[in-house]
């Protein structure tokens, strides 16, 4: 089902897990999702304190360097007991210096330690998506999604990425790492944000 005149977009992320999810979510839309690495686009700086500002910066960066429409997402996990942390720092939560390599395992371990004495385990994944048709697009398309759940005390499951092994979807009783991709994409923050974005793309 072709949803718009868009044929190719660059996904402004070096995260292979996100890229796979995005390509799967857009199957059948008529839109080809290309990795920014295919154009040797380096990761953009993400200096802002809000998801929306970082997503817009990444989208403009990739579009500027490729000359193509660009889609960026900025997402993370926000934990109630930690006043919203890790938040925009989710990917590098356990990094001590800018040169440290990002590690899902290290991030999960740090979060579990931070919540070791907490009874409030409520958390939510948040995702904002920004699509720009060109680098200086004054009217970027913006969509968001939220996935509510809880943080477990130990990891479960082998699918997904990021905090999925310790994030419990209460409705299903499964972690993000125990859900197959079809089910996850229907309820996840990224899946919900993309569906909202696709509805807006149809109006272009």
Spell out, as residue ranges, where the chain has pLDDT lower than 50.
Answer: 1-3
* DSSP 8-state code for residue 167: E
Classify residue 97: in a domain, yes or no. yes
> Residue 192 phi/psi, 5° resolution?
-65, -40
Please give the backbone phi and psi of residue 139, each rounded to the nearest 5 degrees, phi first. -130, 65
CATH number assigned to the domain comprising residue 130? 3.90.950.10
Catalytic residue among 73, 74, 104, 164: 74
Residue 50 φ/ψ, nearest 5 degrees: -125, 150
Residue 115 lies inside a defined structural domain of this protein: yes
Q: For the chain, how far is it from start to end, CA to CA, in angstroms?
A: 15
Task: State the Cα–Cα distance between residues 92 and 148, nearest whole angstrom.
Answer: 21
96 within some domain: yes
Inside any domain, residue 102 = yes
Q: Would you state the pLDDT for residue 5?
A: 60
- pLDDT tens digits for range 129-158: 999 999 999 999 999 999 999 999 999 999
The SS3 call for residue 95 is coil
Q: Do the domain assignments include residue 3?
A: no
Q: Is 74 a catalytic residue?
A: yes
Residues 194-204 pLDDT 10s:
899 988 887 77
Domain count, the chain: 1
> Is 2 domain-assigned?
no
The whole domain housing 12 covers: 8-201
pTM across the whole model: 0.87
Which contiguous run of DSSP H or E holds residue 192?
A: helix 189-201
């Amino acid at each position: 089902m072709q949803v718009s005149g868009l044929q190719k977009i660059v996904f402004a992320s070096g995260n292979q897990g996100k890229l796979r999810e995005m390509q799967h979510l857009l199957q059948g839309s008529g839109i080809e999702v290309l990795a920014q690495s295919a154009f040797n686009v380096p990761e953009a700086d993400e200096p802002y304190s809000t998801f929306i500002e970082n997503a817009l910066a990444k989208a403009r960066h990739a579009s500027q360097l490729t000359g193509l429409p660009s889609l960026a997402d900025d997402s993370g996990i926000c934990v109630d007991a930690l006043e919203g942390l890790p938040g925009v720092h989710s990917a590098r939560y356990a990094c001590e210096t800018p040169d440290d390599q990002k590690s899902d395992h290290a991030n999960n371990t740090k979060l579990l330690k931070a919540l070791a004495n907490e009874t409030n385990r409520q958390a939510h994944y948040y995702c904002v998506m920004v699509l720009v048709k060109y680098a200086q697009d004054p009217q970027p398309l913006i969509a968001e999604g939220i996935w509510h759940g809880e943080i477990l005390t130990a990891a479960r499951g082998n699918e997904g990425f990021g905090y999925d092994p310790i994030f419990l979807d209460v409705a299903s009783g499964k972690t993000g790492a125990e859900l197959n991709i079809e089910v996850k994409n229907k309820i996840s923050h990224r899946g919900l944000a993309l569906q909202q974005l696709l509805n807006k793309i149809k109006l272009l």
